[in-house]
Amino acid sequence: MRSRRWDPAVAMANVQEFGEHGGVNPDICDSSTYTFLEPDGMERTFLGQQPGCYLYSRHYNPTCAYLGRLLAAMEDLEDCVVTASGMAAITCALVQLVDPGDEIVASRCIYGGTHTLLERVFPQKFGVSVRFVAPTCLEDFERAITPRTRVFYVETLSNPLLEVAPLDELAALAHRHGIKLMVDNTFAPLLVTPAHHGADVVVHSLTKFINGMSDTIGGAILGSREFIGSLRDLHQGTAMLFGPTMDGLRAASIAKNLRTLHLRIPQHAKNAHYLAERLQESGVPVVYPGLPQYPQRKLLAKLGNTKKYGCGGMLTVDLGSKQMADKLLRALQMQRVGYLAVSLGFYRTLFSAPAASTSSEVDKEEQQSMGLRPGLTRFSVGLDPDIQLSWERFCEAAHEVGFVLRR
């Protein structure tokens, strides 16, 4: 039984491995291929009769496997395969789970790239139909189930609207019907451990908080040993055959950054909370999961370790119109509050207007039905050493463009 004091960062810290010469960081495996002493060893490995032998780095690279062990410890799942991007992780995991004619029920409020993949590519290229429903509405998920439904797909904290998926209830519903629950936990690493709430498969974009440096793209798929083994299968595994491989050098650098995630996440949250409170006092429509007005505060507290890790580094602000969003975001960048850039989880603040950027692939009607307005802006709050100064700069930028803050 899991200890009541289980903590994802402690679980990760317990992964203590050494380099070949006793180095405190495991050695980087800088090879694409591996030698065999005997030709029949190679043949047996290809036939799957000789487990544990390294073959080729698209199949298995020891440094990528080390990063995978850290992530598996963090998410309390048996195994992990890391990929070259979050989209590669999502695509490979989903294709592995479905066959032509199957169906997926997905939350409507998800990252624009995933939404488009599910709306267009899966039906048109793979013959898999997808029904989109409200992430918080269990009845909608239940109504959408058919005998061909194989997967429920949700984000823990949705991009960009920050809606929390009721994971326990979704998992119970899914499992009653033999359906797998797949959760994208990109917005809530450490904060929520989806496997503790019934998730069968967890995916991440490592590009974001986990790496935290905005210097690379990366992804991960986590699940049972059996499922991750199936992804690596030489004859049927999407992680082997689609070739979404991460490079070993990159895996080593992400693994080192991951080791400080437990320090970064509370600081992102503390700064985001501060800005959210100032915005709220100034009469600006702000959504932040730590504010008392946030409708799903209790659900997030039930799912996540908000006491230790805070309520995340993301917030949204409705600036009323795209014109105002464009003006203010430009001014914020000039004032050095952060960068006008997509992505999130960076040590500096990043901001963008999703309707015209990260969710622009989603058609306008669908944007409207998910509540994504043109003036909505998304902030990934950084590790600012002086968040009060950042707020003063925010106020200066607002003043410059005539965006009224009630003082």
Give the binding site for ligand PLP (CB under 6 A): 85-87, 111, 113-114, 155, 159, 184, 186-187, 205, 207, 217, 219, 358
Q: How far is the CB of 400 from ligand PLP (least distance, A)?
A: 29
Q: How far is the CB of 337 from ligand PLP (least distance, A)?
A: 21
Q: How far is the CB of 267 from ligand PLP (least distance, A)?
A: 20
Q: How far is the CB of 216 from ligand PLP (least distance, A)?
A: 9
Residue found by looking up tokens 């055959």 in the block: 241
Q: How far is the CB of 117 from ligand PLP (least distance, A)?
A: 10
Pick left, alpha or beta for residue 24 (phi over 0 → left; psi -120 to 50 → alpha; otherwise beta): alpha
50 versus 343: smaller Cβ distance to ligand PLP: 343
In the bound complex, which residue of the shown chain has the CB atom lying closest to ligand PLP? 86
- The answer for residues whose C-beta is within 8 angstroms of residue 120's C-beta and 6 or more apart is none
Residue found by looking up tokens 């200066």 in the block: 396
112 versus 166: smaller Cβ distance to ligand PLP: 112
218 versus 248: smaller Cβ distance to ligand PLP: 218
113 versus 212: smaller Cβ distance to ligand PLP: 113
Question: HEC states along the chain?
Answer: CCCCCCCHHHHHHCCCCCCCCCCCCCCCCCCCECCCCCHHHHHHHHCCCCCCCCCECCCCCHHHHHHHHHHHHHHCCCEEEEECCHHHHHHHHHHHHCCCCCEEEEECCCCHHHHHHHHHHHHHHHCCEEEEECCCCHHHHHHHCCCCEEEEEEECECCCCCCECCHHHHHHHHHHCCCEEEEECCCCCCCECHHHHCCCEEEEECCCCCCCCCCCCCEEEEECHHHHHHHHCCCCCHHHHCCCECCHHHHHHHHHHHCCHHHHHHHHHHHHHHHHHHHHHCCCCEECCCCCCCCCHHHHHHHECHHHHCCCCEEEEECCCHHHHHHHHHHHHHCCCCEECCCCCCCCCEEECHHHCCCCCCCHHHHHHHCCCCCEEEEECCCCCCHHHHHHHHHHHHHHHCCCCCC
Q: How far is the CB of 40 from ligand PLP (least distance, A)?
A: 40
Q: How far is the CB of 258 from ligand PLP (least distance, A)?
A: 15
Pick left, alpha or beta for residue 301 (phi over 0 → left; psi -120 to 50 → alpha; otherwise beta): alpha
Distance CA 127, CA 50 (A): 36
111 versus 132: smaller Cβ distance to ligand PLP: 111
162 versus 325: smaller Cβ distance to ligand PLP: 162
Task: Locate 340 and state its tokens.
Answer: 């006008």
Q: How far is the CB of 339 from ligand PLP (least distance, A)?
A: 15
252 versus 350: smaller Cβ distance to ligand PLP: 350
57 versus 114: smaller Cβ distance to ligand PLP: 114
Q: How far is the CB of 396 from ligand PLP (least distance, A)?
A: 29
284 versus 317: smaller Cβ distance to ligand PLP: 317
Q: How far is the CB of 88 from ligand PLP (least distance, A)?
A: 7
60 versus 111: smaller Cβ distance to ligand PLP: 111
